[in-house]
Homo-oligomer: A and B are copies of this chain.
Amino acid sequence: MAGQKKKSPPTRTPAPAEAGASRTSLWERLATPAPAARTVLTPERIAEVAVGIADAEGIEAVTMRRLATELGVAPMAAYRYVSGKDDLLELMVDRAYGELAAPEPGAGWRETLRGLAVRTRELVLRHPWLVQLPSGRAAVAPTPNRVALAEWGMRALAEAGLSADETMAAVDTVGSYVQGRTAAEVATRHLMAAQGAPGDADALRTSMAPEMTWLIRTGRYPAFHHYIGTARHKDDPQWQFETGLDCILDGLATRLHI
C-alpha cells in the first residue's frame, strides 16, 4: 500500500494554498507517511525550531524568514509542509500540547480533571505564546493533542454516569476556564514586566500595571480599588487559579449530582 509502480499518486499534497473550498486539515496531509526523498525538513523539526524561537523571544519573533534562517533553509522552504503561517502556528500549538502526558487511569474524575487543568496551566506558563497567538484560528484550533486533552477529560467522567451533554459541558467548562484564566495570567505578567515608568512607586507597591494604577485613581472603581488593596493573594496566581478551579469542580459535583 505504500509505493506503487508507475504514475504513483502524489504521496503528499504540497500544501494546497488553502483554496477556500477543500481545505484538507493539515493533520490529514501530514498523516501520509512521508515517502522519503531528500528529507532535510520535517514537520517535527519545523515545529520544534519554531517553538524554540517563540519560547526564547516571544511569538512575534516567529516569522517565516526567521524560521527559515534558524532551519538553515531558504525562506520559502517550509511552505512545502505548512500552507501558511496559520498552519505553522497550529503545528506549534500541537507540539506544545504534546508535552502533556496522559493521566493515570486509576484516579477519580475530580482528581483527574484537576490534574489536567493544573498541568495545562503549567504548560501555558512554560509556553506563554500559547495564549498570545496572533491568529485567533490557531488559538482554538482542534489539533490532535488538544483533542486528546478533551478525550482524557471525557474518559475521566465516564465513570460518573453523566449524559453526553453533561459530560461535554463539564469538560468544556473546565477547559474554557483554564484557557481564559491562563490568558489573563500571562497578560498580567507581561503588563507588569513592561513597566518601568519612573515616579510611579505606587505601581510597584501595589504590584499593579501602571495603566491600571491610573485607572484606579480616576475613582470610577471604588469596589475594585478596595478589594485589590486588601487582597492578600493578589500576587499569587496559582492560588487564584486553583481556587477558581476548585469552585468549578464543586459546582460540577453539585449540579450534576456526582
Which A residues are within 8 Å of any B CB, using their own CB? Answer: 20-28, 31, 59, 131-137, 139-142, 144, 147-148, 150-151, 154-155, 158, 163-170, 172-173, 175-181, 183-184, 187-188, 190-191, 194, 196-198, 209-212, 214-215, 218, 220-224, 226-234, 239-240, 243-244, 246-252, 254-256
Contact = CB atoms under 8 A, between A and B. Distances in A.
Contacts of A218: 31, 144
A70 B47 CA distance: 39
Contacts of A251: 246-252, 254
Contacts of A232: 164-165
B134 A134 contact: yes
A244 B181 contact: no
Given A151-B224, A165-B232, A250-B255, 16 more contacts: A25-B210, A25-B214, A28-B211, A144-B215, A147-B220, A150-B224, A164-B227, A165-B239, A168-B228, A170-B244, A173-B244, A173-B248, A179-B180, A179-B184, A247-B248, A250-B254
- Best-surrounded residue of A137, A168, A173, A214 (most CB of chain B within 10 A): A173
A28 B217 CA distance: 10
Nearest to A198: B22
- Best-surrounded residue of A135, A166, A168 (most CB of chain B within 10 A): A168
How many copies altogether?
A: 2
Chain A interface secondary structure, helix, strand, loop or mixed? Answer: helix
A59 B134 CA distance: 12
Nearest to A226: B164
B184 A172 contact: yes
A74 to B, nearest CB: 27
Given A214-B28, A248-B248, A220 B144 contact: yes
Nearest to A251: B251
Contact of A197 (B22, B172, B175, B196): B22
Q: Across the A-B interface, give the 4 residue pairs with the lowest CB-CB distance, nearest first.
A: A251-B251, A180-B180, A176-B180, A173-B244
Contact of A244 (B21, B176, B190, B239): B176
A176 B184 contact: yes
A27 B215 contact: yes
B142 A211 contact: yes
A220 B250 contact: no
Given A25-B214, A247-B252, A140 B223 contact: no
A20 B197 CA distance: 9
Nearest to A227: B164
A137 B177 contact: no
